[in-house]
Chains A and B, each alone.
Chain A
Amino acid sequence: MILVLGEHSEGKIKKTTFELVSKATELGQALNTEVSVALIGKGIEGAEGLGTYGAQKVYHIPTLEKYNPEGMTKILHTLVSELKPSIVLGTASPMGKDLFPRLALRTGAGLTTDCTGLKVDNGKLVATRPIFAGKAFIDVTYETEIQMATTRPNSFMLKTLSPDQKAQVIEKSIEPGEMRTNLVEIVKGKSDRPDLTEASIIVSGGRAMQNSENFKILWELADTIGATVGASRAAVDSGYAPHDMQVGQTGKTVNPNLYVACGISGAIQHLAGMRTSKVIVAINKDPEAPIFKRATYGITGDLFQIVPLLTQEFKKVLAE
């Protein structure tokens, strides 16, 4: 069996979970095994809908409402011991990244984190992942019975197996046990936008933004096309944007379908952090900027002129 740890945000199942179930179904076909999903939390909608992407069973465990590393490890360890999956997959999200190493250790599994590719070779899982923030890639093989991996959002295509298929939802009550890390509160961010690591469109600004106020034009473009805003290290170090917006080797590595780099010259650390983006747009005054070597589409020009025009044009065509 392949077990996928599903994620939800306030009860709504995340897109990354559908992507992962689609991929798990493909692996399950190669291994001739079924796909199950674990969903932890209360008030989760549309669990049976995971059947559309190929999941046969959904184990719903409502005993832990908010993420807790110890509680979640205990619950999943119990579930894995009972179901004995050969593969356990999760998203390389803040939760998955935090949880899986602990779970892997406890279950005796081998673990590969932040993968961009998964395949079956000789009946075993082989995971592909970037290292050095994307400056190189490796394939990881397993020496263990249970094989675990977390995968980056936007790495796999959504694939509908059968639109009418419904997964069987099984309620399970597993207690999270003693927790020495006590979640006191969750402080919400300023925006409801997805995090950079999960965003499918990113508009980023570099040192050429000149100040934090000017980021407004990037936010306007982002709002128009449903994007999240990022920044280069130069922009963050100059105080134009906060740390959690930084894309690059010492910031976030991102994997969007579209990355729009505005006034970013393309330092090696920045290019590493965004190089798995599927489509890259670069807008820069300097025609020699290294970012143009990576760009799918390049515009030599003043971002303060181009970006508002782009926003306007998108507004026009998206309204049609």
Chain B
Amino acid sequence: MKIGVFVKQVPDTETKIRTKADGSGIEIDGVKFIVNPYDEFAIEEALKTKEKAGAAEVVILSLGPTRVVEALRSGLAMGADRAIHIDDSGIVLDSFVTAKILAKTAETEKFDLIFCGKQAIDDDAAQVPQMVAELLNIPHVMVIEKFEMNAEKNGVVVHRRIGGGAKEVYDVKLPAIFGCEKGLNTPRYASLPGIMKARSKPVTTLKALELMGDSKPRTGNRNYRLPPERPAGKMLQGTPEEVAKELVRLLREEAKVI
């Protein structure tokens, strides 16, 4: 069994975002990059699945500049077998072009199963996995919080979170792609021997330019900006009884939200 994991490197959640003066993008000078938190659940689920399946290979992929190799190394340190870095230099990416490149790579690798995060916490687009599924003509299930192989190991049962605490339970034929959500598992820490071993595991580099064919972005991002500052709020003063009463009045009469 061959398991693929899509990993994205994203700015740390602590990052205070700054936009470029001309609105063309985000300033990345001095930004600390991390593995997209949801992708850690994907790596962990791939490793757990490998352990249960017995013979399996876990291959992690990342599209981006040279620095994303760090993200791949941390996946290798957790226990993945090898990694593929797809160098994105010289191209303009949107979800569509990204999906084309990842799908092309996945096609060559012939994965039986692909895990990824339910979304990346930078662009929050949550488009790529479903688009890859469509390009590969395989099923997808996003926002999974439970994953189990069936007895014949040719299919899986997954729980998809749909809100309000409700879940959909799906029976899925493999190959398929799954978007992982918090709660699915607890990602393991890389052990020291794991980190040492990761150094000698193979990382292949491919060129996105050669994989994308004639695909062109379908959307373009403009006018990167910070949200407007909220005007200074009103601090309510008085006894607890007074402030509670005043707040209720303000919410009904001034803000008119209740």
Chain A residues in the interface with B (C-beta under 8 A): 67, 69-70, 73, 93-95, 97-102, 104-106, 108-114, 129-144, 180-198, 201, 225, 228, 242-244, 246, 249-251, 253, 257-258, 268-269, 275-276, 278-282, 292-302, 305-306, 309-310, 312-314, 317-318
B151: Cβ under 8 A from any A Cβ: no
Nearest to B233 among chain A residues (CB) is A295
Closest to B165 in A: A189
Chain A residue numbers with a CB within 8 Å of B164 are 189, 191-195, 228
Q: What separation, in Å, do the CA atoms of A96 and B230 have in the docked complex?
A: 30
From B37, B140, B219, contact of A143 by CB (8 A): B219
| A298 engages B236 (CB within 8 Å) | yes
Q: Which 5 A-B pairs have the closest CB atoms?
A: A189-B165, A195-B163, A110-B218, A101-B130, A309-B244
Chain A proximity of B155: nearest CB distance (Å): 9
List which B188-230 residues lie within 8 A (CB) of chain A.
216-227, 230
Q: Knowing A113-B125, A305-B240, A309-B240 touch, does A183 contact B233 (C-beta < 8 A)?
A: no
Determine if A94 and B143 form an interchain contact, defined as CB atoms under 8 angstroms apart: yes
Q: Give A251's nearest chain B residue, CB to CB.
A: B182
| Cross-chain contact A140 with B247 (CB below 8 angstroms) | no
Q: CB-CB < 8 A to B162: which residues of A?
A: 94-95, 186, 195
Q: Is the interface of B mostly helix, strand, loop or mixed?
A: mixed
Q: What chain A residues lie within 8 Å of B220 (beta carbons)?
A: 140-143
**CB-based contact B224/A138 at 8 Å:** yes
Give the interface centre of B15, B122, B247, B255 by most chain A CB atoms within 10 Å: B247
Residues 107 to 164 of chain B near chain A (Cβ within 8 Å): 121-131, 133-135, 138-143, 145, 157, 159-164
A238 to B31, CA, bound (A): 28
User: Are B166 and A113 in contact, CB atoms less than 8 angstroms apart?
Assistant: no
Cβ–Cβ < 8 Å partners of A133 in chain B: 121, 124
Given A136-B19, A142-B219, A184-B170, A250:B13 Cβ within 8 A: yes
Among B42-50, B51-59, B80-88, B171-179, which stretch is in contact with chain A? B171-179
What B residues does A183 contact at CB under 8 A?
168-170
Contact A143 B218 (CB under 8 A): yes
- Chain A nearest CB, measured from B239 CB (Å): 9
Closest A residue to B127 using CB positions: A101
Q: How far is the CB of B145 from chain A (nearest CB, A)?
A: 8
Complex alpha-carbon distance, A310 and B246, angstroms:
10
B-side contacts of A296, CB under 8 Å: 230, 233-234, 255
* B residues whose Cβ falls under 8 Å from a Cβ of A: 11, 13-17, 19, 26, 37-38, 94-96, 99, 121-131, 133-135, 138-143, 145, 157, 159-173, 176, 181-183, 216-227, 230, 233-236, 240-241, 243-245, 247-248, 250-252, 255, 257-258
A102 to B217, alpha carbons, bound, how many Å? 16
**Interface pairs (19), CB distance under 8 Å:** A93-B163, A94-B161, A104-B131, A105-B96, A105-B99, A105-B130, A105-B134, A113-B125, A131-B123, A134-B227, A135-B15, A137-B224, A181-B170, A182-B172, A189-B166, A191-B164, A198-B163, A281-B247, A297-B250
Inter-chain contacts of B255 with A (CB < 8 A): 258, 279, 296-297
Question: With contacts A67-B168, A102-B133, A268-B14 known, is A132 near B121, CB below 8 A?
Answer: yes
A186–B159 Cα gap in the complex (Å)?
9
Query: Which among A100, A131, A279, A297 is the interface contact of B124 at CB below 8 angstroms?
Result: A131
B163 touching A69 by the CB < 8 A rule?
A: no
Contact A101 B243 (CB under 8 A): no
Taken together as a complex, chains A and B put the C-alpha atoms of A106 and B169 apart, in Å, by 25
Distance in angstroms from A226 CB to nearest chain B CB is 8
Q: How far is the CB of B159 from chain A (nearest CB, A)?
A: 8
Q: Is the CB of B135 within 8 A of A184?
A: no
Q: Which of A295, A301, A310 contacts B248 (CB 8 A)?
A: A310
Q: Which residues of chain A are near B130, meaning CB under 8 Å?
A: 69, 98-102, 105
